[in-house]
Amino acid sequence: MRKLLLLSLVLASPLTFAATQCTTADKAQWQDQDKFQADLKAHGYEIKKFKVTGGNCYEIYGFNKEGQKVEIYFDPVDGKVIKSEIDG
């Protein structure tokens, strides 16, 4: 019974399903997606997948200039990294 209650609390927690939020700025203030990707490529990134998230982020999946697999969330207004994961 305790395990079931604990599981219910964890699943009900807003942190469990919290999406990464990057900006609330109007999309007219966002950097152009194609130019943003071109700038990343010029800095050595290889982009396998690019998307706009529900939290208003530019998100990439790919590789950094060291060849490490990355998943990075960027603020689309100023290009700042909001969240980054490197694998390998």
Asked whether residue 5 is domain-assigned, the answer is no
Tokens of 79: 């290009």
Domain residue limits at 75 = 19-87
Asked whether residue 35 is domain-assigned, the answer is yes
pLDDT in tens, 22-47: 999 999 999 999 999 999 999 999 99
CATH of the domain at 28: 3.10.450
Our count of domains for the chain comes to 1
Tokens of 34: 């194609």
pTM, rounded to two decimals: 0.78
Asked whether residue 70 is domain-assigned, the answer is yes
Asked whether residue 41 is domain-assigned, the answer is yes
Mean pLDDT estimate for the chain: 86
Q: Are 20 and 73 in contact (CB under 8 A)?
A: yes
Q: Are strands 46-52 and 69-74 parallel, antiparallel or unpaired?
A: unpaired
Alpha helix stretches (DSSP H) within the chain: 2-12, 33-42
3-state secondary structure of 10: helix
Asked whether residue 55 is domain-assigned, the answer is yes
